[in-house]
Structure 1
Amino acid sequence: MPDLLTLEGVHTRIAQYHILHGVDFSVPAGGVTVLLGRNGAGKTTTMRTIMGLWRAAQGRVMFDGEDISKLDTPAIARRGIGYVPENMGIFTDLTVKENLVLAAANGPLDSARVDWVTGLFPPMKTFWNLPAGNLSGGQKQMLSVSRAIIEPRRLILIDEPTKGLAPAIIQAMITALRELKKTQTTILLVEQNFAMAKALGDTVAVMDDGRIVHRGAMAELAGDAALQEKLMGLSLETHQ
């Protein structure tokens, strides 16, 4: 498949800190690309740079052939890019419904789309009229993903959706993202749970110290413990 998103020599500085040092990788259209790396490697900074929350100091972020690196975040979102941040980004004082209404930037909620999303995440229907602050941690993460997909998006950036979640919730998230993948929505996923990364990923990029140190097929990395040790200093099969 052609590449939908490409980062070319991206550098990001935050105050006096130089976080990204020439990041280069691509995200093929219609698949799931997993961004792996140790804590502090620059994964979240990469996601925030793509969304324009932090501005690239150098290099280009190309989306469908257009350089979006100088656009502001609302303009990037209007290109059809959704973002699920690590901190979830939900409004706890608003109901589940109100959270989704705010996320549906193009107009009223589409009933068919709501039915599809609540089919993926049944607790959203159960707690539809309750404040989002009443949800459990896993349910809040479901709401965060629901907000990103309540309207069709061409690309979804998802930052560590299973962090701190119970195994049953993780499995529900895998199932939901597989269904999202079937709609030809492209996904860039930061994920520490290798079982999830392996289950969903088509391609993978590995970061270390603000640089991409490996790019390739997810299946290749998943099947090569020696390569995992070389890139990240651990066997991912034992690091679930």
Structure 2
Amino acid sequence: MAEPLLTLEGVHTHIGQYHILQGVDLALPKGGMTVLLGRNGAGKTTTLRTIMGLWKPSRGTVSFAGRPIGGLPTPDIAQAGIAYVPETMAVFADLTVAENMVLAARSGPVDPARLDWIFGLFPALKKFWQFPAGVLSGGQKQMLAIARAIAEPRTLILIDEPTKGIAPAIIEAMITAFAELKRETTILLVEQNFRFAASLGDHVAVMDDGRIVHRGAMADLARDEALQQRLLGLSLDTHQ
């Protein structure tokens, strides 16, 4: 088996007095998309934030490309090749779409060929290129947040609930974009929309009470309604 791109071994994370992650073990293969599922409060967002260095693990190890990164400053983790798209999107509303993209590029202006590729994924960004990001719809802001994360090639992208509050038509467009994006880079996706996750995910890990309780192929979970019900309290047929 190929060496995992990212591993978490026995990771515990405390936020104040709260013990959120309680021994997370996760091995993320290189390439494709791994989906992190679980009920609200299971620890999914805390897992992403711990990987990104926004929360420091109180115990355990986080390794990326064979290098320990647990507890490193967030800028160092980003420099190693990891990008993070938070649930809040965190775009600069008063800046134009173009200015948002300039700020995201660490090495200077975005390469024109790469920008054309990003416009192919998210055509609305080209249309609103010189508009303030604050005038974009929620779905368009999400597209901008993802585009900023890929302004330069990244080895791993962490994306937190990209479909939350997004119109169905935008979600369909995002499925097409993500299918293309995961050919270029490895994605760890937190998502509540099971149909979206099942249509794109290659691998799946399910969290409950701060631990990983299931790992496997996304296709296997999508086919097994009883397992969905046991792990998530839902089924693909009823949860959109």
TM-score range, shorter chain: over 0.9
Q: Give 1:115 deviation, angstroms.
A: 0.7
Q: Residues 159 and 190 of structure 1 are in contact (CA less than 8 Å); yes or no, is this contact kept in structure 2? A: yes
Partner Cα distance (2:18, 2:154) in 1: 32
Alignment match, 2:109: 108
Q: Residues 32 and 183 of structure 2 are in contact (CA less than 8 Å); yes or no, is this contact kept in structure 1? A: no
Q: Residues 11 and 56 of structure 1 are in contact (CA less than 8 Å); yes or no, is this contact kept in structure 2? A: yes
Q: Give 1:237 deviation, angstroms.
A: 2.9
Partner Cα distance (2:136, 2:99) in 1: 14
Partner Cα distance (2:110, 2:217) in 1: 37
Percent of paired sites with the same residue: 71
Alignment match, 2:124: 123
Deviations 1:195-217 (A, max 9, x none): 11111111100001111110111
Q: Give 1:239 deviation, angstroms.
A: 1.1
Which AA in structure 2 matches 1:55? K
Query: What stretches of structure 1 of length at least 5 have no aligned partner?
Result: none
Alignment match, 1:197: 197
Alignment match, 2:226: 226
Q: Give 1:233 deviation, angstroms.
A: 2.1
Q: Give 1:129 deviation, angstroms.
A: 0.7
Alignment match, 1:163: 164
Alignment match, 2:135: 134
Q: Give 1:50 deviation, angstroms.
A: 0.3
Partner Cα distance (2:126, 2:13) in 1: 40
* Superposition RMSD in Å: 0.9
Aligned positions of 1:144-183 closer than 5 A: 144-183=145-184
Partner Cα distance (2:234, 2:132) in 1: 41
TM-score normalised by length of structure 1: 0.98
Q: Give 1:70 deviation, angstroms.
A: 2.2
Alignment match, 2:235: 235
Query: Helix, strand or coil for the counterpart of 2:21?
Result: strand
Partner Cα distance (1:29, 1:170) in 2: 25
Q: Residues 93 and 133 of structure 2 are in contact (CA less than 8 Å); yes or no, is this contact kept in structure 1? A: yes
Q: Does 1:187 align with 2:225?
A: no
Query: Helix, strand or coil for the counterpart of 1:3?
Result: coil
Query: Helix, strand or coil for the counterpart of 2:7?
Result: strand
Partner Cα distance (1:236, 1:43) in 2: 20
Partner Cα distance (1:205, 1:170) in 2: 22
Q: Give 1:42 deviation, angstroms.
A: 0.5
Alignment match, 1:73: 74
Partner Cα distance (1:206, 1:37) in 2: 5
Alignment match, 1:98: 99
Q: Give 1:55 deviation, angstroms.
A: 0.4
Q: Residues 20 and 42 of structure 1 are in contact (CA less than 8 Å); yes or no, is this contact kept in structure 2? A: yes
Q: Residues 33 and 201 of structure 1 are in contact (CA less than 8 Å); yes or no, is this contact kept in structure 2? A: yes
After the TM superposition, list the runs of 4 or more consecutive aligned residues in structure 1 that deviate by more than 6 angstroms. Answer: none
Query: Helix, strand or coil for the counterpart of 1:237?
Result: coil
Q: Does 1:41 align with 2:11?
A: no
Query: Helix, strand or coil for the counterpart of 1:97?
Result: helix
Deviations 1:175-231 (A, max 9, x none): 111111122x00000011111111111110000111111011111111101111111
Partner Cα distance (1:52, 1:188) in 2: 15
Q: Give 1:234 deviation, angstroms.
A: 2.2
Deviations 1:112-159 (A, max 9, x none): 111110111011001101110010111000000000011100000000
Query: Helix, strand or coil for the counterpart of 1:117?
Result: helix
Q: Give 1:68 deviation, angstroms.
A: 0.2
TM-score normalised by length of structure 2: 0.98
Q: Does 1:57 align with 2:93?
A: no
Query: What stretches of structure 2 of length at least 5 have no aligned partner?
Result: none
Partner Cα distance (1:50, 1:107) in 2: 26
Q: Residues 104 and 151 of structure 1 are in contact (CA less than 8 Å); yes or no, is this contact kept in structure 2? A: yes
Partner Cα distance (1:106, 1:208) in 2: 39
Q: Residues 10 and 56 of structure 1 are in contact (CA less than 8 Å); yes or no, is this contact kept in structure 2? A: yes
Q: Residues 96 and 129 of structure 2 are in contact (CA less than 8 Å); yes or no, is this contact kept in structure 1? A: yes
Which AA in structure 2 matches 1:197? A
